[in-house]
Amino acid sequence: MTTTTNLFQTGPGGEPLAAGTPRRRFVHVQTFGCQMNVNDTDRILQVLTPFGYAATDDPAQADLILLNTCSVRDKAEQKMMSQLGRLAPLKEYNDDLVLGVAGCVAQQEGERLLQKVPYLDLVFGPDHVGDLPSLLDRVRGSKERVSETTFFKRKDYAFIEAEPPAEVRVSEFVTIMKGCDKVCSFCIVPFTRGREVSKDADMVVREVERLVAAGTREVTLLGQNVNSYGKDLRGDRVPTFAQLLRRVDAIPGLERLRFTTSHPMDAIDDLIACFSDLRTLCEYFHLPVQSGSDRVLRAMRRSYTREGYLEKVAKLRARCPGIALSTDIIVGFPGETDEELEETLSLLAEVRYDSIFAFKYSERPGTKAAEMEDSVPEEVKRERLARVLALQDEVTRARMKAYEGETLEVLVEGPSRMASKGVADRWQMMGRTRTNIIVNFPVPMGEFWAKRWIGQLATVTVEEAKSNSLFGRLA
Ligand code: 5AD
Ligand code: SF4
């Protein structure tokens, strides 16, 4: 990386950069996929900032463009490829532009991606976010095309302790672990994110404390499988996930606590107890079931049965009656029959989730399931997905309708999207209930008061339920 000093360059706040500070550059990152990637993008910006980079939304202005990619289903991968094609012409106008791919596709494809895409300069996996400055040095300095996708060994992996950004959001994510040691047969994650590595609990607590001190009110603890938190750590003071939740819950000033994602196997009693015991832990649990058929669950290597899963749901609801549940469903897994799909539908009808995420099975190279014949035709997958979504639509609608007339605690996050389209004199704000539903409500007396609501708990009476959000007024 060039490190010319230029006193006319300015820092993020418009202040002149100190002598010796690298010249100002712009980075444009496009993020695909899950929350983990969103979080990695934050880390990318964090490691680049001391090197004089500022984020930009405009790819044409950027000196560095990164696609932070997802490979969990094939669509995400195709999206990345077409996006790369769209960005390629920018290189003709800017010799200095570096184009890179990060995230799960990068991890999986590595070198091959450089071969496939001739105008690509840089490919790096999630373990190498911290090395980005030196990787860029190699690309810029020696005009190399660089691919770095080796996994750190578990014991060598070090988390970058996250400093709070200059301006924190009301609701922030804190990564507590990376990787996944489960062996679900359809899933690419263990190949792209490697083995489970947990972040030191003191580091997690410090990160949350700093965010809260800077104004954050709600924190979501993040990992591919948070319930196995700590299993890879040694020492007598290593907390289980439930114990970690208890430590974070005790942080003064924190209003709400959430976590994602969980594997049902590890959702054991001490975790379930947290939902009734902890002040901040929100009544919302995302518990991916994937299928309602025992045969399919076995082939997916999910290591629980339909009945075992339903027992956990019953326990959760007994401990925490108002808890909102959501799940992930895969339709069209190899060999899935019509009857087996019916079992998924009946499970959905029985649990009555508040919301679901449903996907068509997508064969991922290298996984166990890829060795089975992808036997369900695309058309049938499409039709099954439509049936699952139609059933859930009805349930979701009924569940949302039930909120009408209720008075709820809403943590206000900011102006609602309609406000940015210009609602006249009354400002629309948006926030979330503890059960993770978006609520829009107007605040009287314009912008000044609207801003003061951000980060506050509002009491809102729901007047109307739409399919994805609620509308109400201050109680
Ligand atoms: N095909 C379809 N859906 C998948 N998921 C993960 N891998 C695949 C795949 N190969 C879904 C699962 C998981 C969610 C994050 O993505 O439902 O819970
Ligand atoms: Fe993939 Fe299963 Fe791990 Fe989730 S628990 S990331 S589905 S292997």
* Closest ligand by atom to 224 CA: 2
Angstrom distances, CA of residue 189 to CA of 166, 179, 327: 31, 7, 18
Pairing of strands 177-178, 197-198: antiparallel
**With a 6 A CB cut-off, is 232 part of the ligand 1 pocket?**
no
**With a 6 A CB cut-off, is 361 part of the ligand 1 pocket?**
yes
The one-letter amino acid code at 466 reads: K
What is the tens place of the pLDDT at every residue in 222-251? 999 999 999 998 888 899 999 999 999 999
**With a 6 A CB cut-off, is 184 part of the ligand 2 pocket?**
yes
- Tell me what pLDDT residue 21 has: 57
Pocket probe for ligand 2: among 180, 265, 286, 301, the residue whose CB has the most ligand atoms within 8 Å is 180
Q: Are 159 and 199 in contact (CB under 8 A)?
A: yes
Look over the chain and give the mean of its residue pLDDT values, rounded to a whole number: 90
- Tell me what pLDDT residue 426 has: 61
- Beta carbons within 10 angstroms of residue 236's beta carbon: 4
What residues form DSSP beta bridges with 252? none
Instruction: Return the C-alpha torsion angle 358, 361, 363, 367, nearest 10.
Output: 70
pTM: 0.89
Residue 446 pLDDT > 70 = no
**With a 6 A CB cut-off, is 190 part of the ligand 2 pocket?**
yes
**With a 6 A CB cut-off, is 374 part of the ligand 1 pocket?**
no
**With a 6 A CB cut-off, is 288 part of the ligand 1 pocket?**
yes
Integer Cα distance of 351 and 393 in angstroms? 14
What is the tens place of the pLDDT at every residue in 183-237? 999 999 999 999 999 999 999 999 999 999 999 999 999 999 999 999 998 888 8
Say if residue 4 is preceded by a cis peptide, omega within 30 of 0.
no
DSSP string, 76-127: HHHHHHHHHHHHTTHHHH-TT-EEEEEHHHHHHHTHHHHHH-TT--EEE-GG
Integer Cα distance of 126 and 107 in angstroms? 7
- CA 22–ligand 2 middle distance (angstroms): 41
